[in-house]
């Protein structure tokens, strides 16, 4: 078995964590896991707000912590400002906040920026602010843009994240010029999943409880087959080993190797389901070392090293290609970053 110290040194060398610190958000982005969950379930989203006592178990273990949920927006966490304060007082080397939802006041943002002036804030605004809600449904893009400018004025390191879709591609250069004028770096995401209109139409259809069950079962099988197909065509290069992939802490209190494995459409796959064993819940452990040194985590990484062909389909879906890498990340001297996936 691989010891916890060995794989901390080899695989978690940068010790990065992405935290889902709440289950709340005001947006309904068509391709988001949140809108998918609400479309396929009769219940509200699972999870609770991360508490300061839970967070203190984590803070000394990771060098970089990102507040940026897959189902939520971190600003709506009940204890979010306290968590930011802990990061600042504990002198965490790097704290990031990824936000796109609106619903907080300008005074709240001022307080947040003052609470941790070292935190890096990334604002998700896709195109000119008044058009951003085309994809980010319910977002007040103009208000969020104003808060992004406020962050810059308050000397917060600020990044503008821009997902490129057909509707906003023609505004890229205009927004780049605007960001340069403001002294704000840009982070572009070029996604193959650009046709969100189909997802929007699909999720607008009201399903009965039985239809939801059947649709979910169908998607679980489709995604599993997609991973198996990719396995037969491409090479696996797990980013949780070879890249600076962030570990994820879900709003339900469980750690997973990446954000993709924290998804109800994947979490029943072999190996992945073991990460959700009750004894691995954050409340059932005094330290996170106990979790990462568990047989479940050690066996998973041993499998990826020794027998990667036994990896679950989700690993091949997101971390395999003909070149053994599934993502391109490049930056330029102007602070502009482009991610293709």
Domains in the chain, CATH or no CATH each: 4-340 (3.20.20.70)
196 C-beta neighbours (distance < 10 Å), count = 21
Q: What is the dihedral of CA 78, 83, 84, 87, to 10 degrees?
A: -170
How distant, in Å, are the alpha carbons of 27, 126, 169, 224 from that of 174? 25, 12, 10, 41
Question: Are 249 and 59 contacting, i.e. CB atoms less than 8 angstroms apart?
Answer: no
Looking at 247-310, which runs of residues are DSSP E strands?
A: 247-249, 255-256
d(CA 243, CA 265): 24
Residue 159 bridge partners (DSSP): 122, 185
Which pLDDT belongs to residue 332? 53
Task: Tell me which residues of the chain have a pLDDT lower than 70.
Answer: 1-15, 191-194, 242-244, 322-341
Token duo for residue 134: 């085309």
C-alpha 35, offset from chain centre: 15
pLDDT reported for residue 339: 44
Sheet holding 328-331, edge to edge: 255-256, 247-249, 16-19, 64-67, 94-99, 120-124, 157-164, 185-190, 336-340, 328-331
* 8 Å CB contact between 253 and 61: no
Q: Is the pTM of this model over 0.75?
A: yes
Write down the pLDDT at residue 327.
47
Q: Exposure of 9 by Cβ count < 10 A (0-12 exposed, 13-18 middle, 19+ buried)?
A: exposed
Dihedral (CA of 261, 267, 271, 273) sign: positive
Q: Which residues does residue 161 pair with via DSSP β-bridges, in sequence order?
A: 124, 187
Contacts of 325 (CB under 8 A, 6+ apart): 237
Structure tokens given for 162: 């821009």
Would you give the distance in Å from CA 107 to the centre of its chain?
26
Enumerate helices (H) and strands (E) in the chain, giving the number of each. Answer: 13, 12
pLDDT of residue 302: 87
- Give the distance from CA 213 to its chain's centroid: 26
Give the pLDDT of residue 12.
54
Other Cβ atoms less than 10 A from the Cβ of 249: the count is 25
User: So what's the pLDDT on residue 1?
Assistant: 41
């Amino acid at each position: 078995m691989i010891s916890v110290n060995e794989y901390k040194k080899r695989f978690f060398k940068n010790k990065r964590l992405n935290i889902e610190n709440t289950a709340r958000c005001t947006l309904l982005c068509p391709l988001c896991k949140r809108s998918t969950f609400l479309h396929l379930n009769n219940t509200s989203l699972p999870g609770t707000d991360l508490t300061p006592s839970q967070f203190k178990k984590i803070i000394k273990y990771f060098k970089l912590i990102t507040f940026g949920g897959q189902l939520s927006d971190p600003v709506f966490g009940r204890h979010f400002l306290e968590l930011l304060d802990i990061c600042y007082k504990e002198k965490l080397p790097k704290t990031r906040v990824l936000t796109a939802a609106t619903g907080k006041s300008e005074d709240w943002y001022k307080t947040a920026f003052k609470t941790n002036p070292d935190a890096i804030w990334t604002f998700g605004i896709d195109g000119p602010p008044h058009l951003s809600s085309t994809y980010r449904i319910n977002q007040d893009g103009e208000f969020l843009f104003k808060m992004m400018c406020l962050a810059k004025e308050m000397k917060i390191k600020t990044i503008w994240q821009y997902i490129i879709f057909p509707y906003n591609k023609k505004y890229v250069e205009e927004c780049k010029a605007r960001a340069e004028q403001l002294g704000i770096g840009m982070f572009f995401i070029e996604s193959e999943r650009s046709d969100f209109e189909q997802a929007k139409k699909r999720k607008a259809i009201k399903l009965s409880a039985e239809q939801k069950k059947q649709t979910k079962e169908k998607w679980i099988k489709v995604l599993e087959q997609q991973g198996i197909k990719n396995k037969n065509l491409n090479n696996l290069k797990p980013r949780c080993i070879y890249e600076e992939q962030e570990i994820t802490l879900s709003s339900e209190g469980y750690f997973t190797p990446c954000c993709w494995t924290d998804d109800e459409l994947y979490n029943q796959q072999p190996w992945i389901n073991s990460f959700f064993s009750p004894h691995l819940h954050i409340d059932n452990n005094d330290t996170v070392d106990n979790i990462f040194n568990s047989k479940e985590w050690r066996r998973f990484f041993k499998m990826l090293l020794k027998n990667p062909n036994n990896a679950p389909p989700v690993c091949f879906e997101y971390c395999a290609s003909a070149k053994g890498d599934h993502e391109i990340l490049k930056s330029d001297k102007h602070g502009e970053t482009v991610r293709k996936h």
